[in-house]
Amino acid sequence: MTPPFWAPYKAADSSPSVIGSPLSTFALDRVSAHFPEAVVERYVDRAGGAWAVIHPDSLPKVAAFLKNDAELEFKLFGSIDGVDRLHLAENDPRFEVVYFLYSFKRHEHVRLKVRVSEHQPVIPSLVPLYRGANWWERLTFDFYGIRFEGHPDLRRILLYDEFQGHPLRKDYALRDRQPLIPERPIKDIFRGPGTSGHS
Amino acid sequence: MADSHTFDAKGHNPDTDGSLPPEGSELEAHLQSKHMVINMGPSHPATHGTVRLKVELDGETIVKIDPEIGFLHRGFQKSCENVTWTQCLPYTDRLNYLSAMMNNFGFLNAVEKLIGLEIPERAQYIRVIGSELHRLTDHLTCVGATGLEMGGFAPFLYGMEARELLQDRVTELTGARLTTSFGRVGGINRDLPEGWADKVHKTLTRTEELLVEMDGLLTRNRIFVDRTKNTGVISAEDAIDYGWTGPALRACGIDHDLRKAHPYWVYERFNFSVAVGEHGDNYDRYLVRMEEMRQSISIIRQALETIPAGPIIVDDWRIALPPKPEVYGTIEGVMAHFKLVMEGIQVPPGECYDATEASNGELGWYLVSDGRGRPYKVHVRAPGFPVLAAVPHIIEGKMLADLIPTFDTINMIGGEVEQ
């Protein structure tokens, strides 16, 4: 056995930027053709997945096109999450929100990305289009503080309302502590006859 | 509720002395009750984990329901961002504690995609076997618990017997019953134990027998069928819109399984079919799970028969720990071991999205690496999250009693939903 010796220690230095076989770019090509002004950037990630960076204002119409176009039909809602690019080389604008949709017709995922700045972290909501977006947008709001305009019920989902800050932002320390909060006043429920509850 | 059979044609009440009820009596009045808000959970036997359901009731009808989640939030993503790629593995166990191996392997698969790594064939077979074993335990728990909460204790016990036998096999393979932390980036960390395949064959035979028992006790059981058929119904369009995947989506009649649609590892070599339901109700979700278990048994048998000999992990010391004689006998071995343990795997900068079919649906991972040896971002698309999000849509306007079977058959797992 000849062990691969240690010369290229950082795999990053020598490996090509795309290693997977590129996946289909059909859907994003159609988006680019229909909304050339909406697509900020196109690229292929390391595993061959095609990405499109969408202008925030154009997101609803691009998503509606992906969902309703007869040749695409990206109807299955995948997920949403944020990325805080604070410590990355390229970090302006600071936040990225990623969207994954799936099409039964084309049997593939589509990967979309929207970039928003720290000062104006607002993106139009996709809830009118996909009901599945509801909780994912709440999750992204909860952990990154990105607001989704037009969301019917944008409040925290996993953390409690009194939580201060957004813990997945890179400037939130791993062992940061939250202040103790007083017990919430509870609107009493009907207790019925008897001595239960009040002595 | 004005029951038509309580009074005969003349308005006589056959249960009493035959006198007519007085005009405008209380019996005929529309009973207007105040809406009542009740808490189900956070620790309720039927919530399977800690989820709090705020239920607003009109009588027994659910007017509004608001699932409040987050009681099991452990900061999964934040924790992963501060440890090496290999150290994320124990955190992935805890996402779905009923089928930890699927989460382990799904995460590893995504990391390998990001590195651009092809793992040895034998490791792929072991991953298939491990995943299907845990798919069985997950479905057994779900089906058994459904039976239990519909009032049948016996099917639960049969399910638990099969599950315990399977857990024993899992223990022999991985060293742990639930939190397996099995597999490493680039393959598998330990090979199948001696004589393990025969034990698995015996366990699978016993599991099949127990499945027949469970099937006999539940599938045509009047109480069970009444509680599950036509309850918790969701249409295929709604399910897709909410982002359902896995058995819950297939029960709506959509033939979608990532093992078939995008075969990963060696799934395309096995002969199995995808169970698809029709009505999208609780009963179909139960039936789909039962059939998937039979298919999983068949996959494990095929895999054990055709598993090739060979290495179980890649031979690249930047990824996998060197064999111990090399560590103790050569300077290169020591260096590689030290570097890997202290600094972790240097995953090149980049991003990728990858998904596998876990027991409850598409388990997706979006990983970002900045090349510093730690994940920059670990996004997990837990299959239970969109499923739970659709519960208000399914259950509002239905009876409180329908909530229990619905909550059972969607099989929401607190660990993955609440990260």
Nearest CA in chain A to B38: A189
Report strand pairing: A50-54 vs A108-116: parallel
Is there a single domain that holds both residue B6 and residue B144?
no
pLDDT tens column, A59-78? 888 888 888 887 888 888 88
- How many contacts does A have with B, using Cβ atoms within 8 A? 150
Is there a single domain that holds both residue B102 and residue B161?
yes
Residues 6+ apart with CB under 8 A from B77: A143, A168, B377, B378, B379, B380, B419
The two three-digit tokens of residue A112, written as one number:
């979309």
Name the stretches of chain B with pLDDT < 50.
1-13
Kindly give the residue spans of alpha helices, DSSP state H, lying in B116-183: 121-149, 153-174
Inter-chain CB proximity A46 and B352 less than 8 Å? yes
- In this predicted structure, what is the pLDDT of residue A3? 41
Is there a single domain that holds both residue B121 and residue B238?
yes
Report strand pairing: B350-358 vs B361-369: antiparallel
Pick from B261, B315, B332: CB nearest A107? B261
- In this predicted structure, what is the pLDDT of residue B44? 72
Q: Is residue B39 part of a domain?
A: no
Confidence of residue A188 (pLDDT cuts 50, 70, 90): low
Across the strands, what pairs with B354? B365
- In this predicted structure, what is the pLDDT of residue A98? 92
Domains of chain A with bracketed CATH:
18-132 (3.30.460.80)
pLDDT tens column, B358-399? 888 889 999 998 888 889 999 999 998 898 888 888 888 888
Q: Is residue B372 part of a domain?
A: yes
What is the rounded radius of gyration, in angstroms, for the C-alpha atoms of chain B? 25
**Whether the predicted pLDDT of A1 surpasses 70:** no
**Whether the predicted pLDDT of A4 surpasses 70:** no
Pick from A20, A88, A131: CB nearest B116? A20
Inter-chain CB proximity A132 and B386 less than 8 Å? yes
Inter-chain CB proximity B78 and A167 less than 8 Å? yes
C-alpha dihedral over A111, A114, A115, A119, to 10 degrees?
A: -150
Q: Work out the minimum CA distance from A164 to partner chain B, whole angstroms.
A: 15
Handedness of CA A85, A86, A90, A95 (dihedral sign): positive
Is there a single domain that holds both residue B252 and residue B183?
yes
Number of other CB atoms surrounding residue B306 within 10 Å: 11
Amino acid at B416: E
Using a CB-CB distance cutoff of 8 angstroms, which residues of chain B are in contact with residue A15?
116, 348
Is there a single domain that holds both residue B335 and residue B401?
yes
- Distance CA(A47)–CA(B330), nearest Å, equals 35
Q: Work out the minimum CA distance from B87 to partner chain A, whole angstroms.
A: 16
- In this predicted structure, what is the pLDDT of residue A12? 40
**CA neighbours closer than 13 Å in the CB half-sphere of residue B253:** 10
Is there a single domain that holds both residue B10 and residue B155?
no
Number of other CB atoms surrounding residue A88 within 10 Å: 16
B406: domain range? 76-417
Residues 6+ apart with CB under 8 A from B260: B267, B274
Q: Are the CB atoms for A58 and A35 separated by under 8 Å?
A: yes
For residue B411, what is the domain's CATH number?
Answer: 1.10.645.10
Nearest CA in chain B to A104: B256
From the number of C-beta atoms within 10 Å of its C-beta (0-12, 13-18, 19+), residue A173 rates as exposed
Is there a single domain that holds both residue B15 and residue B101?
no
Pick from B242, B315, B348: CB nearest A131? B242
Inter-chain CB proximity A46 and B350 less than 8 Å? yes
**Phi, psi at residue B364, to the nearest 5°?**
-105, 145
Inter-chain CB proximity A135 and B352 less than 8 Å? no
- Distance CA(B3)–CA(B94), nearest Å, equals 50
Is there a single domain that holds both residue B177 and residue B311?
yes
**Distances from the Cα of B133 to the Cαs of A150, B127, B147, B204, B292, in angstroms?**
44, 10, 21, 9, 12
Locus of tokens 């570097």:
B339
Inter-chain CB proximity A100 and B381 less than 8 Å? yes
Q: Is residue B231 part of a domain?
A: yes
Q: Work out the minimum CA distance from B4 to partner chain A, whole angstroms.
A: 32
**Whether the predicted pLDDT of A142 surpasses 70:** yes
Q: Work out the minimum CA distance from A195 to partner chain B, whole angstroms.
A: 20
**H-helix or E-strand spanning residue A147:** strand A147-149
Using a CB-CB distance cutoff of 8 angstroms, which residues of chain B are in contact with residue A20?
113, 116, 352
- In this predicted structure, what is the pLDDT of residue B5? 44
Is there a single domain that holds both residue B259 and residue B347?
yes
Total domain count, chain B = 2
- Distance CA(B312)–CA(B188), nearest Å, equals 6
Inter-chain CB proximity A19 and B116 less than 8 Å? yes
What is the rounded radius of gyration, in angstroms, for the C-alpha atoms of chain A? 22
- Pick among B376, B378, B417 to test the A interface (most A CBs inside 10 A): B376
Inter-chain CB proximity A3 and B326 less than 8 Å? yes
Using a CB-CB distance cutoff of 8 angstroms, which residues of chain A are in contact with residue B70?
156-160
| Interface predicted TM-score (ipTM) | 0.82
Is there a single domain that holds both residue B210 and residue B327?
yes
Residues 6+ apart with CB under 8 A from B34: none
- Pick among B66, B352, B372 to test the A interface (most A CBs inside 10 A): B352
